Amino acid sequence: MTIDNASAEEVTAATQGEKVAVSYPAAGVAQLTISRPERRNALNIEVKELVARAVEQLSADPSIRVIVITGAGGAFVAGTDVAEMQSLTPVEHTLKVTDRMFTVLRNCPKPLIAAVEGYALGGGCELALSCDVVIASEKARFGQPEILLGVIPGAGGTQRLLRAVGRYQAMRLLLTGKHVYAAEALAMGLISEIAPEGKALEQAIEMAQHVASMPQLAVSAIKEVIRAGADVPLDTALLLERKAFQILFDSHDQKEGMKAFLEKRPPEYLGR
């Protein structure tokens, strides 16, 4: 059975206990766990393909509203598997589409929340940067140490980091290969929240449940407008925002949300 043709339940059964496991910790929430404990969950081509397929499957499942990505064994993702990468040629990078996972994450229409314990370095940091929210435990460590291997980040680590923390912090991390702990990462805008040690996943699932309870048309519009507006002129981005705002006034959830607010009762959103 391939993940491409499997149902969400079959994906869980096929991957549970293997290198990529999908589970469902709460209504509307999927959890994707990367597990290569012998390599601190380092990404090889096989794992990246499994993640890409799982995210594609979950993106197409209307019952899933938020996806949480984490790593097993006290680490998020310690990097890309250097042993595999060392001998790759430029042509092999192209033929194997070694950045496919990051493309799938970038195009995922549903909110992605990274729950980070331990190391998020190199490809692991790029994986976190591909998510919409990053929740990290107090001792989590982030960095792009590719320069120490004679290369540079190749899956968004320069461009996403630049947009997240600004030129001067990005250059400091990229040129030195140094790591930063969660407190400094939060101060520079690299992560969203800090959780107590060992509680990043729990905190991420709590947030995912909250987001899953929100009106989904508005959730989708927020992600779409932020993604589309990040790299266009401000006037264009404001126009995109205004059009999305206006369109939502034709939805049931807009009418229900405002009516419930005025009636001082909890809203009942239907996603339409």
Burial of residue 162 (number of CB atoms within 10 Å: 0-12, 13-18, 19+): middle
- 146 included as an active-site residue: yes
Of 18, 46, 56, 126, the active-site residue reads 126
DSSP string, 51-81: HHHHHHHHHT-TT--EEEEEESTT-SB--B-
**What is the DSSP pairing of strand 179-181 with strand 20-26?**
unpaired
Residue partners of 187: CB distance under 8 A and separation at least 6:
none
Catalytic-role residue among 84, 146, 202, 256 = 146
Q: Which of 50, 87, 88 is nearest to 69 (CA)?
A: 50
List of residues 6+ apart from 219 with CB closer than 8 A: 65, 111, 211
Q: How far is CA 247 from CA 109, 244, 260, in A?
A: 18, 5, 20
Active site residue 202: no
Active-site residues, by number, are 126, 146
